[in-house]
Copies of this chain bind each other. A is one copy, B any other.
Amino acid sequence: MIVILKQNPNREQLESLISWLQEKGVSIHTSIGEAHTILGLVGDTSKLDIDLIAALDIVEDVKRVQEPYKNANRKFHPEDTVIPVRDTQIGGGTLTIMAGPCSVESEEQVVAIAKAVKASGATMLRGGAFKPRTSPYSFQGLGEKGLEYLKVAREETGLPIVTEVMDLSQLPLFKDVDVIQIGARNMQNFDLLKAAGHQDKPVMIKRGMSATYEEWLMSAEYVMASGNENVILCERGIRTFESYTRNTLDIAAIPVLRQLTHLPVIIDPSHATGKYWLVETLSRAAVAAGTDGLQIEVHNDPAHALCDGPQSLKPDVFDPLARKLLKLHAFVRGLDEGD
Binding site for B on A (CB under 8 A): 2, 4, 7, 29-36, 38, 40, 42-44, 46-47, 49, 51-52, 54-57, 61, 63, 65-66, 68, 75, 132-140, 166-169, 185-186, 188-192, 194, 209-210, 212-215, 218, 221-222, 225-226, 238-245, 248-252, 254-256, 259, 272-273, 276-278, 281-282, 284-290, 302-310, 312, 324, 327-328, 331-332, 335
Q: For residue A256, which residue of chain B has the nearest CB?
A: B244
Q: How far is the CB of A145 from chain B (nearest CB, A)?
A: 17
With the chains together, A273 CA to B252 CA distance in Å?
A: 8
Q: How far is the CB of A276 from chain B (nearest CB, A)?
A: 7
Q: How far is the CB of A164 from chain B (nearest CB, A)?
A: 12
A328 touches B324 (CB 8 A): no
With the chains together, A252 CA to B140 CA distance in Å?
A: 29
B34 touches A43 (CB 8 A): yes
CB<8 Å pairs between A and B, sample of 6: A29-B38, A49-B309, A63-B63, A135-B221, A137-B225, A281-B290
Residues of B within 8 A of A57 (CB): 303
With the chains together, A52 CA to B276 CA distance in Å?
A: 12
Task: Count this chain's copies in the assembly.
Answer: 4
A209 touches B212 (CB 8 A): no
Q: For residue A210, which residue of chain B has the nearest CB?
A: B210
With the chains together, A167 CA to B196 CA distance in Å?
A: 14
A168 touches B166 (CB 8 A): no
Given pairs A2-B40, A29-B38, A242-B250, 16 additional interface contacts (CB within 8 A): A29-B29, A34-B43, A132-B190, A133-B190, A134-B218, A137-B225, A166-B190, A167-B189, A167-B192, A240-B248, A251-B251, A252-B278, A259-B277, A281-B290, A285-B286, A331-B331
A212 touches B312 (CB 8 A): no
A55 touches B332 (CB 8 A): no
The 7 residue pairs across chains A and B that have the minimum distance between CB atoms: A288-B288, A55-B309, A31-B40, A210-B210, A29-B31, A185-B188, A33-B42
